[in-house]
Chains A and B, each alone.
Chain A
Amino acid sequence: MTKSELIARLAERHPDLRAKIFERIVTTLFEEISDALERGDRVELRGFGAFSVKDREPRIGRNPRTGATVQVSRKRVPYFKTGKELRERLNPDQGG
């Protein structure tokens, strides 16, 4: 499902609202999450999951093709941990 498909499905589910509004809602939502991550904040959505930022230490990497060593600098990477309810829905036959 792409962003535009998500918008289309929301519009279908809410025929009472103008379809155009969903583009703005979805954009605002992910922009808000991105802004939070950019600030280094954590976004916790119970039942769905949590986005956070992890720090990666600088390290010596290798170009796998040439074997040349390259300096990989410190960086921040976003991370997602699936929420309990969604995890259980993805694996309904298991106890968790």
Chain B
Amino acid sequence: MPANTITRADLCEAIYEEIGLSRNDSAKLVESVLAEICDALVGGENVKISSFGSLMLRSKGERTGRNPKTGEAVPISPRRVLVFRPSNILKDRLNQPDASPAEPRPSRTSYSPG
């Protein structure tokens, strides 16, 4: 079964149903939450949402990469990247015995114990 994709519209609908604001206000507030998180990250702050996880900034130094098409070496400038560190609560929620199991991937080399 292919995974569904949840978008802003679904989050707005959840806020609308849960909080009882108008659809218009719900949409604005979802946007406002995301904007506040973005601003914090751009300003150099890590963002930690308890029971969900943290978005952590990592600074990467300059390195040499390659254009995969031409094989040409190109310098990759130093940059800031984001890493998501899920909380233990979220990790556990994804691996409960009753949660939908991880997709079996029979095409890959199957592991046989022992």
Residues of A within 8 A of B (CB): 1-3, 6, 9-10, 13-14, 21, 24-26, 28-30, 32-34, 36-49, 51-53, 55-59, 71, 74-80, 82, 86-87, 89-91, 93-94
Q: Apart from A2-B49, A25-B29, what are 13 other A-B pairs with CB-CB below 8 Å?
A: A10-B36, A21-B19, A24-B18, A32-B6, A34-B90, A34-B93, A40-B3, A42-B6, A43-B7, A56-B102, A76-B95, A86-B82, A90-B42
Chain B positions within 8 Å of A41 at CB level? 3-6
Q: B63: CB under 8 A from chain A?
A: no
Partner of B32 from the list A14, A47, A55, A58 (CB cut-off 8 Å) is: A14
With A49-B82, A53-B3 as known contacts, state yes or no: A37 contacts B90, CB within 8 Å: yes
Q: Which residue of B lies closest to A76 (CB)?
A: B94
Q: Which residue of B lies closest to A30 (CB)?
A: B52
Q: Taking the nearest CB of chain B, how far is it from the CB of A15, in angstroms?
A: 13
- Quick check: A53 and B94 within 8 Å, CB to CB? yes
Could you tell me the distance between the alpha carbons of A46 and B35 in the complex, rounded to whole angstroms?
A: 12
Could you tell me the distance between the alpha carbons of A43 and B30 in the complex, rounded to whole angstroms?
A: 14
Chain B positions within 8 Å of A46 at CB level? 7-8
- Quick check: B81 and A1 within 8 Å, CB to CB? no
Chain B 52-79 interface mask (CB, 8 Å, partner A; 1/0): 1101010000000000000000000101
Chain B positions within 8 Å of A90 at CB level? 41-42, 57, 79-82
